[in-house]
Amino acid sequence: MQTNVTVANPAPSRVGYNRSIIIATIFVAFIGVVYLYQAVSLRQASLYFVGIIAGIALYHAHFGFTSAWRHFILNRRGEGIRVQMLLMMLGSFLFLPLLIQGSFFGQTVNGYISSVGISLLFGAFIFGIGMQLGDGCASGTLYHLGGGDLRALNTLIFFIIGSVLGAKDFQWWMDTPNIGPVSFLNNFGIWQGIVIQMILAVIVVAISMYLERKRHGKLLKSNQRPNKDWKVIYQGPWSLVTGVIILALVQFAIFVLSGKPWGITSAFALWGSKIVRALGVPVESWGYWQTPARVNELNGSIFADVTSVLDIGIILGALLAAALAIRFTKPVQWKFSTRSIIGTAIGGMLMGYGARIAFGCNIGAFFSGIVSFSLHGWLWFVAAFIGSIIGVKLRPLFDLQNHVK
């Protein structure tokens, strides 16, 4: 399934709703909320619900990072990147008061401020290659899967494998040269940090506009076709701006509920490590699993893990959105070329490994890093984008289409 941040979902067929899928999905969502409330906490149940909302928003707004970057690389159309900068800035100003205060109604909150060094740059670089071969980043893989793209299952399986390998090698990468974490707010002061953040966003927007005008002579109009039918609320497609607003609020909700920003890929390392430990591999000896918080994650239920609950919610939300959009009126495609299966497997592996050593994906490192006013989020973006340029060139070798509708 081709994902394009600049193109809304096609108008759904009026054949009829996927009632059975809708009912089953709502039932599972309800059972999940009740179970998490009773077995874990109200906050965990709330985070599960927020994950469902995120899945709906990602699907209906067709908000992706992978195809937006590919569209710019191939066609110099920068609307998707500019929308991403809007998301970053909106999230930054929602986070700012909480980052300064350090708490919200008694809940301690901390941004993602990670080290800047070889591990970050190399991990983000190979992640960028992988996201193009895997046909989606981490959040894209989850909502593609929920939306009925079975090829995303192959990507996810190898994403988990790569995450386990990255967790195994994590400490080696942490020992490579780095300058430590750099926070614009802590290292330069609040007002200076805000100015630096804004300048970097303006530079990205200006570059995208300059290169688009250079290629096309002007900024091209959006490919989106407005849908004024009130049913757009639950059927989609939503505008990109709507998607930005909801995803920024999702990020904020996760921050205040869990005390940390949104992440995706740490759950993959957890799931995979639990599996290989059950097979007799002593994963608890790996450096990645040495901190008290991660020890608790490894020894506890995945339903007590914030990121796992959010990821499951995203898949479920995308499934519900796809059913409401009448996505399943035709049989889901399950036959793919061997080359594309190999390509998505390699892509998933690169993303899994890269995300672990680079502190996350487009959500956990790029989005959450930037809204935390961390230098690592911006450098992750640059390195991953360079990797994406290579990934786009490699796609045809694996029978992956390079056009963006």
Judge whether 204 lies within some domain: yes
Judge whether 3 lies within some domain: no
First to last CA, the chain: 11
Average pLDDT in the chain: 91
404: pLDDT confidence band, cut at 50, 70 and 90?
low
CA–CA gap between residue 47 and residue 4 (Å, rounded): 27
Q: Which helix (H) or strand (E) holds 70?
A: helix 66-75
Q: 355 in helix, strand or coil? A: helix
Judge whether 176 lies within some domain: yes
Percent of the chain surpassing pLDDT 90? 78
| Domains in the chain, number | 1
Query: Of 112 and 149, which is predicted with more confidence?
Result: 112
Which pLDDT tens digit goes with each residue over 266-318?
Answer: 999 999 999 999 999 999 999 999 999 999 999 999 999 999 999 999 999 99
331: pLDDT confidence band, cut at 50, 70 and 90?
low
Task: List the Cα angle 253/259/264 in 5-degree steps.
Answer: 70
Judge whether 5 lies within some domain: no
CA–CA gap between residue 283 and residue 16 (Å, rounded): 49
| Structural domain that includes position 384 | 19-398
Judge whether 8 lies within some domain: no
pLDDT at position 18, please? Answer: 76
pLDDT score of 10 more than 50 = no
pLDDT score of 13 more than 60 = no
pLDDT at position 4, please? Answer: 40
Q: Quote the pTM value.
A: 0.92
List Cα–Cα distances, 114 to 24, 120, 294, 357, in angstroms: 40, 9, 16, 11
pLDDT score of 7 more than 50 = no
Q: Which helix (H) or strand (E) holds 99?
A: helix 79-101
Cis status, amide bond into 292, omega within 30 of 0: no
pLDDT at position 2, please? Answer: 36
Judge whether 121 lies within some domain: yes
Q: 176 in helix, strand or coil? A: coil
Judge whether 57 lies within some domain: yes
Half-sphere exposure of 161 (CA within 13 A, CB side): 13
pLDDT at position 74, please? Answer: 95
CA–CA gap between residue 277 and residue 275 (Å, rounded): 5
The secondary structure of 288-311 as a DSSP string is GG-SHHHHHHHHS-GGG-HHHHHH
Judge whether 231 lies within some domain: yes
